[in-house]
Amino acid sequence: MNKPDIVTAIPKRRYKLGEFTLIVLGEIESNDDRDYGYIMAVVQGADSEPGIYLTAERNRSPDSEGYDMRLIMRDGEEVIGSSADWREVGAFTDAAISMVSSILNLSDEEPYRMM
């Protein structure tokens, strides 16, 4: 998996969604060439490593103030959308939780904020 190469990050929010823990990281310093605003790591049960990452990356286009959301899974990665709203942790978190719910077929589960 081509996961984010995080050097340091500050946990901003933590949720429980079914058997999954969702951790939102901010103030990210990494060793890769992406400019992360936020990263959501999705961990199943007692696994030590996330199986899914959703990232908000500053769009590199000179005329854009938006962020791209990238889905990173074990079998690949893809940019799945763009929005200027994702510069704010709440907007990114809401969109990422919705995406995780859809991908993992957890639409009947309610996210529970732990932090």
List the pLDDT tens digit at each of the 115 positions of the chain. Answer: 689 999 999 999 999 999 999 999 999 999 999 999 999 999 998 888 999 999 999 987 767 778 999 999 989 999 999 999 999 999 999 999 999 999 999 989 999 999 8
What is residue 65's predicted lDDT score, i.e. its pLDDT? 72
Strands of the 52-58 sheet, one edge to the other: 76-83, 67-73, 52-58, 36-44, 20-30, 6-17, 112-113
Under 8 Å CB-to-CB from 33, ≥6 apart: which residues?
A: none
What is residue 21's predicted lDDT score, i.e. its pLDDT? 96
Longest dimension (CA), the chain: 43
Residue 94: which H helix or E strand, with range?
helix 89-103
Q: What angle do CA 91, 37, 98 make, to 5 degrees?
A: 35
